[in-house]
Amino acid sequence: MAEQMSFEQQLLRLEEIVRLLEKGDAKLEDSLRLFEEGTALVRGCTRLLDEAEQKVVRLVKGPDGLPTEAPFDADE
């Protein structure tokens, strides 16, 4: 299910699950189901973020003065 949802949809559903679990009035089996769904959503979001991070590049001025892409180094 999480694979078919956009990143934003996954985050919204995850927020909804957190609200439901924080209320504390769900039955144990429902809470476990929600927790499992939330865990799957976190894995899906993490995967999408990792993929996006790998695509991030920075533009730098090349030797000819024109912008060129370089790998993004978060340590810089």
Q: Is residue 65 part of a domain?
A: yes
Please provide the average confidence, as pLDDT, over all residues in the chain.
Answer: 87
pLDDT exceeds cutoff 60 at 54: yes
Q: Is residue 36 part of a domain?
A: yes
The pair of three-digit structure tokens given for residue 40, joined into one six-digit string: 């799957």
Task: Work out whether strand 67-71 and strand 57-61 pair parallel, antiparallel, or are unpaired.
Answer: antiparallel
**Residue 73 three-state SS:** coil
Count of domains in the chain? Answer: 1
Mean pLDDT throughout 45-53? 88
What residues contact 69, with CB distance under 8 A and at least 6 apart? 57, 58, 59, 60
Q: Is residue 76 part of a domain?
A: no
Q: Is residue 10 part of a domain?
A: yes
pLDDT at 74: 54
pLDDT at 44: 93
Amino acid at 62: G
Which residue range is the domain that position 26 belongs to?
A: 2-71
pLDDT at 20: 96
Q: Is residue 39 part of a domain?
A: yes
